[in-house]
Amino acid sequence: MITRGYFIGEIIDELANIAHQVDNRCKLNLTDLNKYLEDFFKEILNRLLDLHLENLNNERSNAPGLDLGDPLKRRAFQITSEKTSTKINNTLETILDEDRMAYSEITILIIGYKQTKYTPNEELWNKFNFKKENIWDINKICQEAIILDLDTLQSIHQYIKKEIVKVKIELEIPNKEGEFSTSIKNYIEPIAKPKFHENALKVYHEYHITKLKNEGLEADDYYSIYDITQAFYFLSKELAKLPRITREFYAFLLERRDENSLDTSSSKFFYRFNGDRLKRICRYSDIDGEIRLLAKHKFIYWNEPTPIREEHYTGWTESSYQIRIPGNAKNYTCDNFIVDFVDFIENKNIGYQKPIVNLNFSDF
């Protein structure tokens, strides 16, 4: 059972991490906080204090002195990373008279930890009825959270966990080259580059000829090394269009295909994979997404189940996937390439993952 202690501990840890990031930025004179950070703490304060704060910078760019305000309850906040007396006094000095009249209680929230002592501008502090207690920091938010009811505490916890990654990205410091560790390029799979070796294709070609000879076929039925090279280049080009995980899924389909499922009745030979069996042996969460991608690139076709209605039986035929190698004309990729490829992989004990996933056709 999740307890209050769990929620409080998680909230304290995440806010302390934010404070640490802000402190590191301040050491580099990066003291600015963007609107996203203002809105993040706006939502926390609204839940924490039962307020309806709005970002004042939505209505007027960089509202002087104040960032968040609830006109009905007459409370306003400035969100800052700077903790000095100078910052506090400058904030109060820039607040407009209309805002002073609109908000009876003004709080400055430091995203970090405040100083133990402050030197007030007595005139300004008295003008706004501002006291040291109006300077909040991360510790103060944690103290306020501890006394909340469980539902509100859980609400804050859920919000922080949902947004914390974005917050950390906003506060991230670039390296010397100006790059961020969370740059989108670090989340993008690189484009796959096939690896070919002429000798490898020759080995495959020799295997192909030997196989056909053993089947009693004449030389006219053999494909040339040129045909085979073109077939592998076409296969690799099509595989390279797929994400790595999708290539892995295709390799899995070939490897675990239905037993004795080769179909040579049409111009394009293929293997089958029973749809019901797939759902039972594969726990991957996005099977449908992988099927859509493979179907789009013509690596598989889906045989939809069709109803059977007989006198004593009403049911469905099996639903299965046709596993193919794509091709656009009457050529090796459209005929028995998939049969030769599967036979070669299994007889040589190469395994499907290496050539299909890594596009490595150099180690046959």
Which tens digit of pLDDT belongs to each residue from 252-309? 999 999 999 998 887 788 999 999 899 999 999 999 999 999 999 999 998 766 555 5
The mean pLDDT values, 10 residues at a time, for the chain of 364 residues are 84 92 81 82 96 84 78 94 92 90 94 92 92 95 92 94 87 75 78 87 88 77 83 91 94 95 85 92 93 94 65 66 80 78 91 90 82
Domain that holds residue 39: 4-187
Q: What is the pLDDT of residue 61?
A: 54
Q: What is the pLDDT of residue 345?
A: 92
The answer to whether residues 202 and 138 belong to one domain is no
What's the angle, vertex CA 264, arms to CA 263 and CA 267, rounded to 5? Answer: 125
CB 359 within 8 A of CB 194: yes
The answer to whether residues 177 and 230 belong to one domain is no
Hey, how many other C-beta atoms are within 10 angstroms of the C-beta on 311? 5
The answer to whether residues 121 and 28 belong to one domain is yes
Q: What is the pLDDT of residue 148?
A: 92
The answer to whether residues 211 and 298 belong to one domain is yes
The answer to whether residues 215 and 182 belong to one domain is no
The answer to whether residues 291 and 174 belong to one domain is no
The answer to whether residues 205 and 297 belong to one domain is yes
What's the angle, vertex CA 227, arms to CA 223 and CA 232, rounded to 5? Answer: 120
| Parallel, antiparallel or unpaired: strands 271-274 and 195-196 | unpaired
Residue 354 to residue 359: CA distance in whole angstroms: 7
The answer to whether residues 151 and 259 belong to one domain is no
Burial class of residue 175, CB neighbours in 10 A (0-12, 13-18, 19+): exposed
**Domain end call among 169, 187, 205:** 187
**Domain end call among 187, 208, 228:** 187
- What is the total count of domains within the chain? 2
Q: What is the pLDDT of residue 298?
A: 93
DSSP string, 193-259: --EE-HHHHHHHHHHHHHHHHHTT--GGGPPPHHHHHHHHHHHHHHHHTS-HHHHHHHHHHHHTPPT
Residue 274 dihedral angles phi and psi, to the nearest 5°? -60, 130
**Domain end call among 187, 206, 232:** 187
